[in-house]
Structure 1
Amino acid sequence: MSNYWNAKMYYSQPTIQELQRKIQSSNNKANKKGKQLHPIHIEGRQIAKSWWGQAWCNVIENYADYGSRLERGKRYVRSGTVIDLNITKGRVRALVQGRRATPYKVDIHISPLKEEMETLIEKCGHKVSNLETLINGDFPKDLQELFTSSSGLFPAPKEISFACSCPDWAIMCKHVAAVMYGIGAKFDENPFLFFELRGIDVHRLIDVAIESHVDHMLEHAHDQSERIIKDENIKDIFGIDITN
């Protein structure tokens, strides 16, 4: 087993087999207490499969002060060590199984959006061209730039803070990194959790998008279109005389 330095002491990294045994033990204890856990399960090597989940995982690179913690975090989340992860407005709380019998507690806080909510919702609403896609829980490509741009919806490093009960002195330890990647996987399951995390009322977002779409249709209701058949051509096409 490899070691990492922490507070003048060396801590060994557990093997996958050791982690699995501890995970099972923690799950059994939670079941006996009647506590429902929300674990992260990763199938295959790819942590997130949707473009928004992948974009979140890519952003994580900006938060790490020690690159090695990211690789360990990927290893941990793929091993199923994030045994509980809950997303609420501006906060993520999780339990990560580590070398100790008791899982480590990870607490992530995200600052509220600085941009005025009305302006933000209006931006989203005007960018959504396929409302059915959004309502069905899939982010249209129209929103990609709004999410991934430098002034987008993903939190900047200064807007996010981490805390973990482990003894690692790094700002982002491997347990925090595992949770951050787990969030990306969670967004795959339910993309609306991103709006919850950022404090955006998704129902208002959809309402504004629908209103914007309807207003646009009404504004152009009387515009001429090549797809509209002229009255004088209807008789020739369908044999119906509507002039009488």
Structure 2
Amino acid sequence: MFDQWPAYVPVAERRRLAAAEMAKLVKQGQTVSPVRITGRAIATTAWGKAWCDHMEGHSDFANRLPRGRTYVRNGSVVDLQIVPGKVEARVSGSSIYRTTITVKPLAAAAWKALCTDCAGGIDSLVELLQGRFAAGVMQRLCRQGDGLFPVGKELRFTCSCPDGAYMCKHVAAVLYGVGARFDHQPHLLFTLRKVDASALLARAGAGLAGGDVTSERTLVGDDISALFGLEMDAGDPAPEQSSAPVSVRAARTAVSRTGSAPVKSVVRAQRRDPASTLLAHLRKHGSLDNASARAATGLDAAAVRLVLQRLVIAGQARVEGRKRGTRYMAR
């Protein structure tokens, strides 16, 4: 009856074997991202804890989750990757098991309702990812059934282990590992559900903005610096700009009168999404600084910095240097 189960392997030996296996993958050029838990709490931030609480709220999962907590705490989730609609992981047990959690995309109607209900309650992408907004907004985002987190029927589990249960302990460990990952990379929640986090940012309408906020709503430069691990360049003061649109003909006329460099490219850049413009520049040149980003988009220093931060959060750019030496590098 129990012949299909391999012999028990102590945790220390499992770790040694897993480390050797992951080293092979790294040598082959694969990216390995283990889940490491420090202390007793699996997740400590707003999004990480909300994910774990949501999973524990499913009665169908109650019997299996405790074993998963043990596995994730002892370092058994040796690789965890979150991509749109899927979590792929390797879990160390008697062998290295391949575990996959498939998540249905959030339905367009449900996402639209979320954005409508939360309108005006979240002021910036940084605030959203830190969970710094009114409690009512978080309750709406996490609401069972029609919130941001998937419900049981939207989840499908597979594991290469011999356990035939719907949710084995390896799957349970990965579910907790996802919560731990959201502690450090909360934007992956939106990646997983295939939605654009920026759609939740403040717009016209009161929505659910009412209620107490546990911390300051507005982040100053030092707060953003701490989040991204860099010191923000103060940048040049933004020039006064006319609210009237500038035609291509007017731009050309101004150039012919002043002898300045052509502004045709700037006018074209203003018509294009700034994030797309900067991403194309990064891919072509490999890096840029605030000044070259302003030149490419026509935005002022403060506005272009927010666009660059958005690329960093999305994993499309990384930061090198500090203060005026800060450069954004292509990933």
Normalised by the length of structure 1, the TM-score is 0.73
- Structure number with greater CO (CA < 8 Å, separation at least 6) is 1
Residue 144 of structure 1 pairs with residue 138 of structure 2: yes
RMSD, matched Cα: 2.4
Aligned residue in 1 for 2:214: none
Q: How does 1:40-189 map to 2 (within 5 A)?
A: 40-61=35-56, 62=58, 64-65=60-61, 67=63, 69-100=64-95, 103-114=96-107, 116=109, 117-128=111-122, 130-131=123-124, 133-134=126-127, 137-142=129-134, 143-150=137-144, 151-189=146-184
| Offset at residue 46 of structure 1 (A) | 0.7
Amino acid at match of 1:125: A
Aligned residue in 1 for 2:326: none
| Offset at residue 141 of structure 1 (A) | 4.1
Aligned residue in 2 for 1:212: 204
The 1-side partners of 2:81 and 2:59 are apart by: 20
The 2-side partners of 1:86 and 1:63 are apart by: 26
Identity fraction in percent: 37
| Offset at residue 16 of structure 1 (A) | 1.6
The 1-side partners of 2:200 and 2:100 are apart by: 28
Q: Which runs of 5+ in 2 are unaligned?
A: 207-331
| Offset at residue 92 of structure 1 (A) | 0.9
**Structure 1 residues 12 and 72 mapped into 2: Cα distance closer, same or farther (>3 Å)?**
farther
The 2-side partners of 1:58 and 1:90 are apart by: 20
Tell me if structure 2 keeps the 8 A contact 1:92–1:108. Answer: yes
| Offset at residue 42 of structure 1 (A) | 0.6
Amino acid at match of 1:44: G
Equivalent position to 1:197, from 192, 201, 205: 192
Normalised by the length of structure 2, the TM-score is 0.55
| Offset at residue 9 of structure 1 (A) | 4.8
Aligned residue in 2 for 1:240: none
Amino acid at match of 2:195: I
Tell me if structure 1 keeps the 8 A contact 2:91–2:98. Answer: yes
- Per-residue CA distance 1:116-163 (angstroms, 9 max, x = gap): 1333322233332x437526x312242320233223221111111111
The 1-side partners of 2:125 and 2:158 are apart by: 38
**Structure 1 residues 80 and 168 mapped into 2: Cα distance closer, same or farther (>3 Å)?**
same
| Aligned residue pairs, count | 201
Aligned residue in 1 for 2:13: 18
Amino acid at match of 2:97: Y
